[in-house]
Amino acid sequence: MTQTPSTTDSSTNAATPLPSPKERRRLREAKALSEEQVAKAVGVTRATIRSWETGRTNPRGRKREAYAKLLATYEAELAAQAQGSEPAAEIDGRERVGGRERVGGTDGTERTDGTELAERTDTAPQPPEPPQAYEPEAEAEPEAEAEAEAEGPHEPAVHPSAPVRPDAASLPSPPVPVPVPALTPEQAFDELYSHAAAGLVRQVHLLTGRREFSLEAVEHAFHIAWERWPEVAVDRDPVGWVRAMAYEYAMSPWHRLRRSHRRPEPTDPGATAAADPDGPTLSGTLLDLPPMYRRTLLLYDGLGLDLPETAAETEASTPAAASRLMHARAAVAELMPELAEPEQLQERLGDLLVDAPLPELASARAVRAGSERRTRFWTRAAIGLTAAVLGAAAVAMATSQSHYEPRQAPGEPVGGVAPRFGPPAFTRQDVELRTMLEHHPRKGPERLLPSAR
């Protein structure tokens, strides 16, 4: 598939280029280095290196330059070692089956005996002999030159050891390269969807046991892939990128809260028999395994990934991935003794991935439209939420006080103050006497009032 990287500039593209997270981990493990050793070389912690190798974060600034330089050094050393060990590998007769080496008939190299080794050595193509050095002829004597001129023109003599140089006119013209039109981002995405969607749906169906949910998980993964297409287009394994997204969505524990997941999905007997000739035994056995065991078994024995790639995709160390794989095989062999051998288990898993029934897939154009619609919805929701927060902040600023007014302290009794002078306050008896006198009738002579005369 032809990939068309986006021309949109970003901070990641403008910085020092780095390999993908899987490639970073592969280079470290190929050099037989631990995370602590790489962290010490770069000057960071072990958790930071693990975060960089899983793709959660990316280095920046000087740390990014140092990390990129270190990975480039590792890659150059591994390439030099591979070129030096290639002839030895041919003589050794190693055979890689399904993306990994076979040893002793299971997982490693199969070495030939002395007879086969001798035959391979004898029949191996021998390197060409080096061309002999060209020795110019000695200068001809004047008499020989005169005789040659008298004889007339003739073909120039060619020294036996001189390399024969063909005439330029007799050489065939090199083929003119036919320009291949570059695919647009939409065409590249449609080709990736048509190539990988069906297989991913079958894989997720084996992980979850739900056909409609597997279709939903794959469509969700392609939605994210179209949203982040500049990153997916330049990835070394775009199918693996989408597969990791689909697996993470399908195996999320939050889906257990959905009402549709509280009851088992009805199965079609005809479809189940077509997918598994002996019934749903292998499918049910896979669903009985823990989620991480199930995923590791599917990646290694079902898809044929090697152990480091399986460990990187499941975000685990290589020994942990190997332990999960062995426990998963033991659990399957306990319930199905006929699948005790890894080759038989791989064959049955391959049949399930090929012959499993497939629900009706949406078109690539509909998936792209759904991704764009989803992006618009969340963008508008984010804008609306931001506007609401800004409006609430503006209202709060308009109604709040412009300056701070401290609260008054509570009163306290003060001693040493002189009492007030004057008549004391009326008591209750004084008030009653005054009221009685005011309402009592007057019985004596009228009070004499002075006159003005």
Band (446; pLDDT cuts 50, 70, 90): low
Q: Which residues pair with 101 in a beta bridge?
A: 96
pLDDT of the residue at 85: 58
Report which listed range, 56-60, 265-269, 334-338, is most confident.
334-338
The pLDDT tens digits for 416-426 are 877 777 777 88
The pLDDT tens digits for 381-418 are 999 999 999 999 999 988 887 888 888 888 888 888 77
What lies within 8 Å, CB to CB, of 426 at 6+ separation is 434
34-38, 109-113, 361-365, 370-374: which range is least confident on average?
109-113
Return the structure tokens found at 400: 């709040």
pLDDT of the residue at 57: 81
The pLDDT tens digits for 329-383 are 999 988 888 888 888 888 888 888 887 777 788 898 999 999 999 999 999 999 9
What lies within 8 Å, CB to CB, of 180 at 6+ separation is 2
More confident residue, 259 or 179: 259
Q: Averaged over 287-299, what is the pLDDT?
A: 90
- Full-model pTM: 0.49
More confident residue, 261 or 229: 229
Give the integer Cα–Cα distance in Å for 358 and 49: 40
Q: Cα separations (Å) of 305 from 95, 191, 202?
A: 16, 23, 17
% of the chain with per-residue pLDDT over 70: 68
Strands 100-101 and 96-97: antiparallel
Q: Is 331 within 8 Å of 289 (Cβ atoms)? A: yes
Q: Is 263 within 8 Å of 304 (Cβ atoms)? A: no
Return the structure tokens found at 259: 């009402």
Choose among 327, 317, 321: nearest CA to 305.
Answer: 321
pLDDT of the residue at 175: 60
Instruction: Indicate whether 130 pLDDT > 50.
Output: no
Instruction: Indicate whether 87 pLDDT > 60.
Output: no
pLDDT of the residue at 242: 93
Band (122; pLDDT cuts 50, 70, 90): very low
pLDDT of the residue at 32: 86
pLDDT of the residue at 248: 92
Q: Averaged over 188-206, what is the pLDDT?
A: 91
Q: What is the largest CA-CA distance in the chain?
A: 192
Q: Give me the chain's average pLDDT, please.
A: 75
Give the integer Cα–Cα distance in Å for 208 and 361: 18
Q: Which domains does the chain carry?
A: 12-93 (1.10.260.40), 185-355 (no CATH)
More confident residue, 181 or 10: 181
Give the integer Cα–Cα distance in Å for 40 and 24: 16
Instruction: Indicate whether 323 pLDDT > 50.
Output: yes
Helix, strand, coil shares of the chain, percent, nearest 5, are 60, 0, 40
More confident residue, 16 or 323: 323
pLDDT of the residue at 13: 41
Q: Averaged over 80-94, what is the pLDDT?
A: 58
pLDDT of the residue at 161: 43
The pLDDT tens digits for 215-250 are 999 999 999 999 999 999 998 889 999 999 999 999
Band (110; pLDDT cuts 50, 70, 90): very low
66-70, 267-271, 291-295, 382-386: which range is least confident on average?
267-271
Instruction: Indicate whether 301 pLDDT > 70.
Output: yes
